[in-house]
A = this chain, B = another copy of it.
Amino acid sequence: LLTKEKNELLTQTDSGTPMGELFRRYWIPVLLSNELPAKDCPPVEVNVLGEELVAFRDSEGKVGLIDAYCPHRTAKLFWGRNEDCGLRCVYHGWKFDRNGNCLDMPSEPPESSFKEKVKITSYATQEMGGMIWAYMGPKEHVSELPKMEWMLVPDTHRYMMKFHIECNFMQSMEGDIDSSHSAFLHSNLKGQIESGGSKMFGREKLRQYSFKDMAPRFFVTDTDYGLLIGARRNAEEDTYYWRVTQWLMPTYSFIPKEPGDTYQCNMRIPIDNHSHWFFRIMWNPDRPLSKEELWDYENGGNIFPEVNPGTFHSKANKSNKYLIDRSLQKSLTFTGIKGIPIQDQACTESMGTIANRTKERLGTSDTAIIQARRRLITAALQLLEGHEPYSSYHGDSYFIRSTAVTLPRDIEVDKGAKELLRAHFNRNEARTNGE
């Protein structure tokens, strides 16, 4: 339960808002690298944090991210020609490089110095881990890329995709760190997670604990990077089954996975206050992804939804009621909606584009959600007072993993699972292995 004011503070990320300024202290992903597949390829519109931008890969292969509108007469640079290290507006031929400098202004007399006076907003970009990242904050505060394990592994070890979601980032992210909903939203009527991916989801024996004990106790610990979220369930008489979610500032999460599993990262990047991009990354630090895994990601609809061709919009969506099958809901699965991401999307989009948190009734299962809200709001308010967020300047703190593990009852999870909660991928080792 939040006041109206707190709910706005939490969900509004336009430039100048407290949360918007906090987000602008982090490097955030704005595109998949393959959306700009080659030097001088067509530009791509980028809407992020309420700002309208356009991205282009210049003749040197570097990515420019600049204002969507030509400063001359405000035509969109999206129509522009990407040529010779700059994007040229088709209206009058003004040309800008990736740093926002005006390189050419052919409509003005050769002797004019107007060109030197005109600059366009540009943001710094980096490419890492198959994504294009941007820093949209003040130049004197440039921060560090988060060093997440999936950003370091070879391409063969990783799969990712993005999806357009029609609601505020926050309510979807709350679902990512909410371990208790899986036993309902994603389950079938026999008490199993309903996904083609039982192999991927780890050993059945352990998974059953989620259904034996549906009300896990939550232990949430503040960390440098965000929150370590332990959901504890009774396992055998002397053991607990722990599912540990990692939440990483400002909008990332690692879903609990057992050692050896293929890991999963979710990222929620605001387009504006009423929609966001959902990036989902699967990675295995130890081996290339298998053919079966890749087939499932691209065709199964279990982990990644099917999209309308040429778009990042899922086929099952609000306008078709997520293709809910009420007879399936009666006979087999809890929702009658197919695929884990679409089940999540149906729930979170149904809250409206900004959930009304003044009406909610939170329980003990919402402990992590409460903490993540508090953490974000606190960091945003502290930034207003001049305190920079620690995590944005300490990318190394993101070198972690989630886990799911059974431990003796008398051992605390952060101690008992210490090694499992650290990332271990060693780029040099991987190379030695011939990758």
A residues with CB within 8 A of B: 42, 69, 71-76, 78-79, 81, 89-93, 105-110, 112, 114, 118, 171, 174, 180-181, 183-185, 214-215, 217, 324, 326, 329, 334-335, 337, 343, 346-348, 350-352, 355-357, 359-366
What are 21 A-B pairs with beta-carbon distances under 8 A?
A: A69-B351, A69-B359, A72-B360, A72-B363, A73-B351, A74-B359, A75-B350, A89-B184, A90-B185, A90-B335, A90-B347, A91-B185, A91-B347, A93-B184, A105-B363, A106-B215, A107-B180, A107-B181, A107-B363, A108-B364, A109-B364
Asked if B185 and A74 sit within 8 Å, CB to CB, the answer is: no
Residues of the B chain whose Cβ atoms lie less than 8 Å from the Cβ of A324 = 79
- Nearest B residue (CB) for A52: B352
Question: Given the complex of chains A and B, what is the CA–CA distance between A89 and B79 in angstroms?
Answer: 47
CA distance A335 to B93 in the complex (A): 11
Cβ-closest chain B residue relative to A326 = B42
Given contact pairs A73-B360, A79-B347, enumerate 4 new A-B contacts (beta carbons under 8 Å): A71-B360, A75-B350, A79-B324, A93-B184
In contact, B74 and A356 (Cβ under 8 angstroms): yes
Q: Which B residues lie within 8 Å of A355 (CB)?
A: 73-74
Enumerate chain B residues within 8 angstroms of A114, measured Cβ to Cβ: 361, 363
| Contact of A71 (CB < 8 Å), options: B78, B81, B346, B361 | B361
Q: How far is the CA of A76 from the CA of B349 in the complex (A)?
A: 9
* Chain B min CB distance to A366 (Å): 7
List chain B residues, Cβ under 8 A from A356: 69, 74
Closest to A364 in B: B108
> Residues of B contacting A360 with CB < 8 Å?
71-74
With both beta carbons as reference points, the residue of chain B lying nearest to A43 in the complex is identified as B326
In the bound complex, CA of A362 to CA of B74 (Å): 10
Q: Whole-angstrom distance between the alpha carbons of A112 and B215 in the complex?
A: 10
- Chain B's closest residue to A343 (CB) is B90
